[in-house]
A and B are shown apart, each in its own frame.
Chain A
Amino acid sequence: MATKSGNATALTVLSPIKNGTMGEISYADITRERCLRLPIHENSPLAKVPNTYLARLFILDDVFYESLPGSDSVFNFSDIFSFFSDQARRDALPKIDHLKSKYLVFSSNFHGDLNEYLAGMWENWTYNDQGIQHDVRYIWEHCVAFDEVTDCNSFISYIKRCQLDASLFFNGSTDDSLQEQLKALYLKQEFTKFVTTHQGKSAIEIQQAFKRFIERVQPENLSGPSWIPGQSNP
Chain B
Amino acid sequence: MSNIAGKAYAMNVVTPIRWYMVWINRLIFKIALSRPSTLKGLITLSLIHYARWVIIPKDGFPHLHPSQPKENLHYSYMLFFSNFNGSWDQYVDSFTFAIPSGLDLFWKWNIRYPKSVPLTPFHDYIKYNQIDTAHYYSAYPMAASNDVKSAKIVKKALIDFKSASIEKNPDEFLIDYNNLLNELQLEFGEMRPTPIVSLSADAVKQRYLQSQSHHYI
Q: Which A residues from 72 to 113 make CB contacts under 8 A with B?
A: 72, 94-95, 97, 99-101, 103, 105, 107, 109
| Chain A residues, Cβ within 8 Å of B119 | none
Count residues on chain A whose CB falls below 8 Å from chain B CBs. Answer: 100
Q: How far is the CA of A69 from the CA of B113 in the complex (A)?
A: 10
CA distance A200 to B94 in the complex (A): 40
Instruction: Report the minimal beta-carbon distance from A35 to chain B, rounded to whole angstroms.
Output: 4
Contact between A60 and B174, CB atoms less than 8 A apart:
no
Q: How far is the CA of A214 from the CA of B167 in the complex (A)?
A: 12
Q: Is the CB of A53 within 8 A of B139?
A: yes
Which of chain B's residues 51-73 have a Cβ closer than 8 Å to chain A? 51-56, 60-65, 67-73
B52 close to A231 (CB less than 8 A): no
A44, B141: Cα distance in complex, Å: 12
B140 touches A227 (CB 8 A): yes
Q: Is B25 an interface residue (CB 8 A)?
A: yes
Q: Verify if A15 is at the interface (C-beta below 8 Å from B).
A: yes
Q: Across the interface, name the chain B residue whose C-beta is closest to A107.
A: B81
The listed residue (B29, B77, B83, B115) touching A54 by CB distance below 8 A is B83
Which residue of the partner chain, among A41, A97, A162, A183, contacts B155 with CB atoms under 8 Å? A183
In whole Å, how far is B167's beta carbon from the nearest beta carbon of chain A? Answer: 9
Interface of A is mostly: mixed
Is there contact, CB below 8 Å, between A162 and B151? Answer: no
Q: Does A216 contact B (CB under 8 A)?
A: no
Q: How far is the CA of A100 from the CA of B188 in the complex (A)?
A: 51
Q: Is A126 an interface residue (CB 8 A)?
A: no
Q: Indicate if the CB atoms of B159 and A33 lie closer than 8 Å.
A: no
Shortest CB–CB separation between residue B47 and chain A, in angstroms? Answer: 8
Q: Please name the residue on chain B nearest to A69 by beta carbon.
A: B112
**CB atoms of A174 and B134 under 8 A apart:** no
On whether the beta carbons of A193 and B61 are closer than 8 Å, the reply is: no
Q: Are A109 and B141 in contact (CB under 8 A)?
A: no
User: 1/0 contact trace for B183-197 toward A, CB 8 Å?
Assistant: 000011111110000
Find A211's partner among B43, B166, B216 (CB 8 Å cutoff): B166
Q: Is the CB of B133 within 8 A of A56?
A: yes
Closest to A100 in B: B69
Min distance, Cβ A200 to any Cβ of chain B, angstroms: 11
Additional A-B contacts beyond A173-B145, A188-B155 (16; CB < 8 A): A14-B62, A33-B217, A37-B215, A54-B138, A56-B136, A57-B133, A67-B111, A67-B124, A71-B115, A107-B52, A109-B49, A144-B67, A181-B151, A185-B140, A188-B147, A191-B154
